[in-house]
Amino acid sequence: MLLHQGIGLHAFNAMPMRRAVHAVYECCYSVPLAADLCRARPFDSHDRLFRFADTLLFGLAEESIDSILQAYPDVGRRPGSEKSRAEQCAIADERPEMMSELASASRTYLEHFGFGFVMYVDGGCAEDVLASARDRLHNDYETERKVVRNELARINRTRLERMLGPEGGYDNW
């Protein structure tokens, strides 16, 4: 659960370093990425912050990506979660057999690649996630690592957007 939501870019730029790092860490699960992003403040637009966050993510070592992946809940772990709707953990389906197939595909993926499945879902359905998990099993390891970084970048962006909220933030900050 994100504690820092809708803070606005101005308030984020003005936050003390420790608090800003904590806010970004809630979005990306990487202390180095969060610290580097916060050291680069101030940002003059949401887009510049998002682009710099992408640059930092794509520059991380594979070990850091593995650490990030450890923090992601499995497919269907938070079914129907509004806050996690862009992520695979929020996938829900009324059919128990579909949820069982998703769990099986997720286990197969983990066994095949050695790291958990992560996907930017953005409200998609269980069939889409299942098809993607199965399709991605055909990737070689290096290709899948690139796909994972892209998926993480898309998820990070939605989380950073939620952290910042609309331009100017909300009145509670």
Domain boundaries, the chain: 9-164
Using CA atoms, how far apart are residues 23 and 142, in angstroms rounded to an integer? 31
Confidence of residue 1 (pLDDT cuts 50, 70, 90): very low
Domain with residues 9-164, CATH architecture: Orthogonal Bundle (1.10)
Give the per-residue pLDDT at 85: 60
Average pLDDT score over residue span 159-164: 93
Within a 13 Å sphere around the CA of 70, how many CA atoms are in the beta-carbon half? 7
How much is the pLDDT for 83? 61
**pLDDT exceeding 90 applies to what percent of the chain?**
69
Tell me the percentage of the chain whose pLDDT exceeds 70.
Answer: 85
**Buried-state track 57-77, b at ≥16 Cβ within 10 A, e below 16:** beebeeebbeebbeebebbbb
- Category of 123 on φ-ψ map: left (φ > 0), alpha (ψ -120 to 50) or beta: left
pTM value?
0.88
For residue 99, give the H/E element and its range: helix 96-113
pLDDT at 99 over 60: yes
Mean predicted lDDT score pLDDT of the chain: 88
Contact 89, 72 (CB under 8 A): yes
Quick check: 161 pLDDT over 70? yes
Q: Is pLDDT at 173 greater than 50 in this prediction? A: no
In which residue are the tokens 């510049």 written? 48
